[in-house]
Structure 1
Amino acid sequence: MRIAMFLDTTFPPDSRVENEAISLIQEGHEVFLFSLNYDKRPEQEEIRNIKVRRYPAGKLVYKFSALAYTLPVYHLLVYPKIVDFIKEVKPHALHVHDMVIARAVFWANRSGNLPVVLDLHENRPVIMKEYSHLKKFPGKYMINTKTWAKKQVELMQKADKVVLVTEEAMDEAISYGVFDTNKFVIVPNTLHVDVFCGYPIDKGILKRFENTFNIVYTGDTGLRRGTDTAIMALNILKEEIPNVKLILVGQNSEDVVLHKLVKSLKLEDYVTFEGWQDVTLFPSYIEAAEICICPLKRNLHHDTTFANKIFQYMAIGKPIVASDCPAQKHVLEQEECGLIHEAGNENDLAEKILTLYHDSALKKQLGKNGYKAIESRWNWDVTKKQLINLYETIV
């Protein structure tokens, strides 16, 4: 089957898009990827057998993408590019990644001759509420997340199949009025274990942190991720764990707030900001950890998606302390690989970390359970099967 995929950004990188495309190619399908070109990359390129076609897109396209469901300008600009791509590829199915570009794809398929798979990597209207530019002028008044939410439901209803990342996301979609549960396919963002665990361990990182009790967090360090909760918990933990160290591996524009918090609590000796690091170094930082954390704050997005970091932690065999966002809570409790704390509650987070600090046997067992769960279930070789089955039945 010839599958036309659509992405509203430049490719690469996008690990989910790449994982899905490669898995379908390995099953004998051809995958052609429509991508927008913002940085003068080659118009056509083959990447791991994915046939990438990039269409030029300037600042106008980029700026109007934020207003995609406020004004139709963005979709009018990309529509002729999509029509050209479909004519060139002559696909048997259309696979749309996320909702930004979706309306233009449906326009190009007005006849409905081609089945459309809508692949929602996240609940975009919900996460948009957390964007800083939507909390101030002019974004606050120009971008209506309720309109985006309404359009997301309409797109799900139009699509032949909808790919979501968690069961919780499906339950949420059903509550919006998308009642045909047969159209939903769950494909979590799990790991290519051999790839992630194959990155060499940086002994220099292990050496730097060999004499401390390390609590590691990897990924976006924005406040909605609970990084401030972790810092405040450290203010409690240092009284009982003198050599405790919180290692934040990642960055966000809100890091200035975290630095001020550390300074105000006099925690400079207990918190290390590693900044952005390539994913190839994540296993090294996780290996240096005694405990890994995922203290996400509660919102509808966090409640219905998985943070990739929990699978990374599990793959290296580390115990996890995570907040009570339902999706990740379900995994940790089902696999018995971590402890759950109340989101935003630094006292409860500190208490759970202390539980593991005082019970090394439990700490070790949780890590071992997580590793076994990754080997048997939470890996891409298992979760890709739902996607493969979808394309065996869609046409």
Structure 2
Amino acid sequence: MTNASVLYIANARMPTEKAHGLQIANMCRALAEHGMDVTLVVPKRKNPIQEDAFRYYGIEPSFQIRYIWSWDLIGSLGVIGFWIQQITFSFSAWRACRNFSAQDSVFSRDIFAAWLLSFGKRKVIFEMHRYPERFVGMWKRLLRRMNGIVSTNQWKAEKIERVMGYPKERIRVLPNGFDSSMFSAHQSQTKLREVLQLPPNQTIVLYTGHLYDWKGAHVLADAARFATNILFVFVGGTPQDIERFKKEYRHTPNILLVGHRPHREIPKYLHSADILVLPNSAKSHESQFSTSPIKLFEYLAAAKPIVASDLPSIHEILGDTNAVFVEPDNPGELAKGILHLIGQSDLAQRMAQANKVLSASYTWDRRAGAIMEWIQRL
């Protein structure tokens, strides 16, 4: 155990229905469980979610959350509103952190706040989730101030070193993860389908997450037309996206749109399925190279066979023993991959077992432990 303190700076609406909020909450929880004194600093913003952040994410209040002022013009002035909010939050975070000890480390996924806080005696660690394709010169100068950088995949780490000129020895590659406590025990598939009101005997292919194009949700929905005896279940999406989906696929009866569910319910849906799908699009640079999707690690933890897009970002985690890989953005090929796996029960079983073993390497707890030890060595 240690008395070390961490200020986790995140310019994010909390709680949020988006995946980054889940990642932030779980990392703060896991760092706190490793004995660190964690304070999450986030902007006080307009939020349609009224639920307490700890309850929303289903975690114990093991760390503090401090909400600070920013000029919340996001959604009202376009890109100008975004930058006003970004700049005001960064300066507000800098002012707020003056009240904390200079011995506290700063961990942030917000580069401007991290840069401001680097002008002091604290260690500042930046966590990069998206690689910047523009303003490379500006990013080089900002990153130069960081004591260390956490990259969520190897592709970004190599770009940070090669293009940004950042020292390799101060880069740590740590993909995202999952909460192992949510997958420690579960009811039988039969019981779960009864609870979730899913058909007991039909083959179920399931996807969790937003219905964005770059995540390939439409490709999976189009694939349903090639496998009409299978039920394709989508768990997630905003009300607006769900309505668009319903209109677009109103003539595809084997699609079920569950909508957004509390995250604590996601393992039930994963365990109720026969096959889990990661249909990321190759048309998105982020999807193809830099993403580290939380759903991937939860799919592994559910010990289910996976069908996934054949992309470099996915291959960083999965191999041929973990998934059937298919051509991205091709509904017919995706359907073939699903049908192939359904017809190969031995392969599906071996894959499920391999995925359960692999999942043990990607818990939030292990990730937090690695970050804590690394910060102390910097």
Bin for the TM-score computed over the shorter chain: 0.7 to 0.9
Amino acid at match of 1:311: F
Q: What residue in structure 1 maps to residue 57 of structure 2? A: none
Do the aligned partners of 1:4 and 1:91 also contact (CA within 8 Å) in 2?
Answer: no
2:353 aligned with 1:344, yes or no?
no
Do the aligned partners of 2:205 and 2:275 also contact (CA within 8 Å) in 1?
Answer: yes
Whole-Å separation in 2 of the counterparts to 1:235 and 1:85: 54
2:139 aligned with 1:116, yes or no?
no
Whole-Å separation in 2 of the counterparts to 1:81 and 1:109: 14
Displacement of 1:19: 2.9
Whole-Å separation in 2 of the counterparts to 1:151 and 1:227: 34
Q: What residue in structure 2 maps to residue 95 of structure 1? A: 106
Do the aligned partners of 1:3 and 1:91 also contact (CA within 8 Å) in 2?
Answer: no
Q: What residue in structure 2 maps to residue 84 of structure 1? A: 95
Give the counterpart of 1:4 among 2, 7, 23: 7
Displacement of 1:37: 1.2
Do the aligned partners of 2:125 and 2:148 also contact (CA within 8 Å) in 1?
Answer: yes
2:263 aligned with 1:279, yes or no?
yes
Do the aligned partners of 1:205 and 1:288 also contact (CA within 8 Å) in 2?
Answer: no
Whole-Å separation in 1 of the counterparts to 2:343 and 2:193: 27
Q: What residue in structure 2 maps to residue 17 of structure 1? A: 24
Whole-Å separation in 1 of the counterparts to 2:65 and 2:295: 28
Displacement of 1:259: 3.0
Q: What residue in structure 2 maps to residue 129 of structure 1? A: none
SS in 1 for 2:204: strand
SS in 1 for 2:150: strand
Displacement of 1:38: 1.9
2:150 aligned with 1:163, yes or no?
yes
SS in 2 for 1:281: helix
Whole-Å separation in 2 of the counterparts to 1:172 and 1:96: 21
Whole-Å separation in 1 of the counterparts to 2:87 and 2:254: 52
Whole-Å separation in 1 of the counterparts to 2:335 and 2:87: 52
2:355 aligned with 1:373, yes or no?
no
2:366 aligned with 1:393, yes or no?
no
Do the aligned partners of 2:13 and 2:45 also contact (CA within 8 Å) in 1?
Answer: yes
Change (3 A) 1:214 1:31: same
Q: What residue in structure 1 maps to residue 234 of structure 2? A: 248
Q: What residue in structure 2 maps to residue 324 of structure 1? A: 310
Whole-Å separation in 2 of the counterparts to 1:315 and 1:79: 36
Displacement of 1:293: 0.3
Whole-Å separation in 2 of the counterparts to 1:369 and 1:196: 16
Change (3 A) 1:283 1:2: closer
Displacement of 1:77: 2.6
Amino acid at match of 1:184: I
Amino acid at match of 1:113: K
Do the aligned partners of 2:9 and 2:42 also contact (CA within 8 Å) in 1?
Answer: yes
Deviation digits for residues 316-350 of structure 1 (CA, Å, limit 9, x no counterpart):
2110000012122232216x121111110112211
2:211 aligned with 1:227, yes or no?
no
Deviation digits for residues 166-218 of structure 1 (CA, Å, limit 9, x no counterpart):
11221232342334111111222111212344577745345522131111001
Change (3 A) 1:4 1:296: same
Aligned length: 357
Amino acid at match of 1:2: S
- Structure 2 gaps, min length 5: 55-59
Deviation digits for residues 47-86 of structure 1 (CA, Å, limit 9, x no counterpart):
73323222133434786795489x6x44553355334322
Deviation digits for residues 239-294 of structure 1 (CA, Å, limit 9, x no counterpart):
xxxx311111111444454334323xx31x21111111112222222222111101
Do the aligned partners of 2:69 and 2:89 also contact (CA within 8 Å) in 1?
Answer: no
Whole-Å separation in 2 of the counterparts to 1:231 and 1:62: 29
Whole-Å separation in 2 of the counterparts to 1:258 and 1:245: 16
- Structure 1 gaps, min length 5: 127-145
Q: What residue in structure 1 maps to residue 207 of structure 2? A: 217
SS in 2 for 1:333: coil
Q: What residue in structure 2 maps to residue 182 of structure 1? A: 169
Q: What residue in structure 1 maps to residue 62 of structure 2? A: 49
Deviation digits for residues 345-382 of structure 1 (CA, Å, limit 9, x no counterpart):
1122111111112111111111111112113x222333
Whole-Å separation in 1 of the counterparts to 2:258 and 2:349: 26
TM-score by length of 1: 0.80
Moved more, 3-12 or 314-323: 3-12
Q: What residue in structure 1 maps to residue 254 of structure 2? A: 270
Whole-Å separation in 2 of the counterparts to 1:270 and 1:250: 17
Amino acid at match of 1:9: A
Amino acid at match of 2:234: L
Whole-Å separation in 2 of the counterparts to 1:180 and 1:315: 34
Displacement of 1:88: 1.2
Q: What residue in structure 2 maps to residue 37 of structure 1? A: 44
Do the aligned partners of 1:202 and 1:281 also contact (CA within 8 Å) in 2?
Answer: no
Do the aligned partners of 1:304 and 1:327 also contact (CA within 8 Å) in 2?
Answer: yes
What does 1:109-148 correspond to in 2, within 5 Å?
Answer: 109-110=118-119, 112-120=120-128, 122-123=129-130, 125=132, 146-147=134-135
Amino acid at match of 2:265: L
SS in 2 for 1:331: coil
